[in-house]
Structure 1
Amino acid sequence: MPQSNPPKIHKVIDDFGRLPLADTPLATKKLSATPETILAMAIDAMIKSRPISHDLSQKAVSTLLKAGYHDIKTLEKSTWDERTMVLKDGGYNRYREQGATNLGELAELVLGVYDGDLNNLHKASDGNVQKVRALMKEIRGLGALGADIFLNNVQSVWPDMAPFIDSRSLKAAEEAGIETDLNAIFKELKGDCVEMSRLANGLSMMRLEKKVKEVEGVDGE
């Protein structure tokens, strides 16, 4: 079995790792799979799947959650104009109109198909990662990239989704000299789903900030 290169794995987590929903009103080290948390992760994935800067998308996500849109009743009752203004306040100007529409459609889907709780999507998938990914891609405005962003985060509270790292971040890991055997990596992290999520997000951040070379110089085993 190829070595997972523990020193580099831990350096990525230490230097770049981010907990799910970091820098938002829901940031905590003890996330649980509440309907609000899962909806917040879906909103986060939807916003961050657009081709805009990470800082700007992060600000928009935080603004949406401050407005309470991770509560399905609040999101359902919001008007298109209200959602547009919240997105504008979050600096999400280029995509605010489409984003407002997609958020409204998200509320309709969650209520109409999943009885107001995306945990029911998890149940419908029978714990299969690819089924979850396919169902998440059905959310308009989220797509393949958004589904991967969602899985990077949701594995922290849906343990049967772990170990998961999106394909672009796996490529960044390979470039940094980290083998891409997910099971070996997960074993190194002692099966900790939260740490796996931090690693996935850390690799994504490392890629976005073009910091791969900072990890390349770390000696492996």
Structure 2
Amino acid sequence: MAPKKGAAKKKAVATAPKPANEAPKQEVEAQETNPVEEPAVTNGDVKDAKLAEKPTKKRKKAANSGEPQKAARRSGRGATKSQPSQRQLLNYMLSTDAEELCRPDDENVAIKKRGDIRTYSSSVLNPFEELLCAVVLSRPISHRLGLRSIRTILNEPYNFTSAKAVQDAGSEKHHQALWDARTQHKAKTAEEIGHVADVVLSKFTAAGDKEGTQMQRARDDCGQDVSNERQYLKDSIKGLGKTGLDIFFRRVQWLWTELYPFIDDRTSQALHKLGLPEDVEELPAAIDEHWEGLDTTHVAGDDEAAKKRRAFVTILERATGSDLEGRSEALVQAAGAI
């Protein structure tokens, strides 16, 4: 039974702790940290600063007389860049052109070097893969290291794309995958990967799903009730807290329709920076309003309703990704330049 819209809205605005991995300046490998020195301030700098702050006679006169001051002239170089319309911004965020602004530079390099690889930022993943990724991303590591770990485990030679594949690989291969990812908390994350696969196969997998990718039994046992599903996953998956659940439910809602629409607090902040609706009802309405004018060629989905849900999830992910990479403003400017 689908939850009432009011309930979804309350869930969307619930205060969530800032995900440890979703802070671009969180802990990273020591050899990759390059402190930037502040330039020294000289007496000449101080003198120039005071002169710059001192108002001219002309400006004093205008201020004292109450006359409106003329706006300062601006050269073409410093002119304000055009702001995109809501339709332009949504359309750009759904395009493949936006992908590079929504993921770390090393992922862009890996894609150009390796070609068609599975990534968290752009690939369509099954529910098990989404759960595995949520567990990895909820670890106290940087966004960059989280996505690198996901690229490693989802592609050759590991291909941890189902619960059965992970279980068959064994503990040694789990650890090797995390070492190859050159990430942090390798041993702990490797243990969690094995644990997730075991739980999914023993508790979440329905008959007919031999690979353990859909987790339908968990849904059926919870009566497809959102609150029950969140609690069941939290109780069953060791180390999966609110942060990981928000990441998982944000991504899988286009497949599990009872969850839709859902916006977590972290994503709401990212939407705000882009000037998009943060309300759980308003953003889907905006997508509906502009749907006919959007290029949805690359949006997954078997029918229009599914494609709209997938478009909603894509907008959320690219808002969050661009924010984590410090590129929200660059994304807006790129959309306005089209």
TM-score (norm 1): 0.78
Instruction: Structure 1: give runs of 5+ residues left out of the alignment.
Output: none
Of 106, 127, 135 in structure 1, the residue corresponding to residue 232 of structure 2 is 135
Helix, strand or coil at the partner of 1:39: helix
What is the rounded CA distance, in whole Å, between the counterparts of 1:73 and 1:84 in structure 2? 17
CA offset at residue 73 of structure 1? 1.9
> Is residue 60–residue 90 contact of structure 1 (8 Å, CA) maintained in 2?
yes
Instruction: Structure 2: give runs of 5+ residues left out of the alignment.
Output: 1-85, 103-110, 112-116, 206-211, 289-304
What is the rounded CA distance, in whole Å, between the counterparts of 1:100 and 1:195 in structure 2? 32
What is the rounded CA distance, in whole Å, between the counterparts of 2:121 and 2:182 in structure 1? 24
Of 141, 148, 162 in structure 2, the residue corresponding to residue 59 of structure 1 is 148
- Asked if 1:196 corresponds to 2:294, the answer is no
> Is residue 12–residue 199 contact of structure 1 (8 Å, CA) maintained in 2?
yes
Aligned residues between the structures: 208
> Is residue 93–residue 318 contact of structure 2 (8 Å, CA) maintained in 1?
yes
Of 108, 118, 126 in structure 2, the residue corresponding to residue 25 of structure 1 is 118
Mapping of residues 1-221 of structure 1, within 5 Å: 8-14=89-95, 15=98, 24-25=117-118, 31=124, 37-66=126-155, 67-92=158-183, 94-115=184-205, 116=212, 117-138=214-235, 139-190=237-288, 192-214=308-330
- CA deviations 1:89-142 (Å, max 9, x no partner) are 1222x2110011111211221122123451222233333333333333331233
RMSD across aligned C-alpha pairs, in angstroms? 3.2
What is the rounded CA distance, in whole Å, between the counterparts of 2:276 and 2:144 in structure 1? 26
CA offset at residue 27 of structure 1? 7.8
- CA deviations 1:130-184 (Å, max 9, x no partner) are 3333333331233211111112221232233221222111022224333322222
Change (3 A) 1:215 1:75: closer
What is the rounded CA distance, in whole Å, between the counterparts of 1:202 and 1:13 in structure 2? 8
What is the rounded CA distance, in whole Å, between the counterparts of 1:27 and 1:172 in structure 2? 18
What is the rounded CA distance, in whole Å, between the counterparts of 1:55 and 1:122 in structure 2? 31
TM-score (norm 2): 0.53
What is the rounded CA distance, in whole Å, between the counterparts of 1:28 and 1:178 in structure 2? 20
> Is residue 12–residue 202 contact of structure 1 (8 Å, CA) maintained in 2?
yes
Change (3 A) 1:169 1:86: same
Identity percentage of aligned residues: 21
What is the rounded CA distance, in whole Å, between the counterparts of 1:125 and 1:185 in structure 2? 28
Change (3 A) 1:73 1:216: closer
Helix, strand or coil at the partner of 1:189: helix
CA offset at residue 70 of structure 1? 2.1
**Aligned AA (2:186):** R
Q: Which residue of 1 aligns with 2:81?
A: none
**Aligned AA (2:204):** Y
Helix, strand or coil at the partner of 2:201: helix
Helix, strand or coil at the partner of 2:161: coil
What is the rounded CA distance, in whole Å, between the counterparts of 2:88 and 2:224 in structure 1? 31
CA offset at residue 29 of structure 1? 8.4
Which structure would you say has the larger Rg? 2
Change (3 A) 1:178 1:26: closer
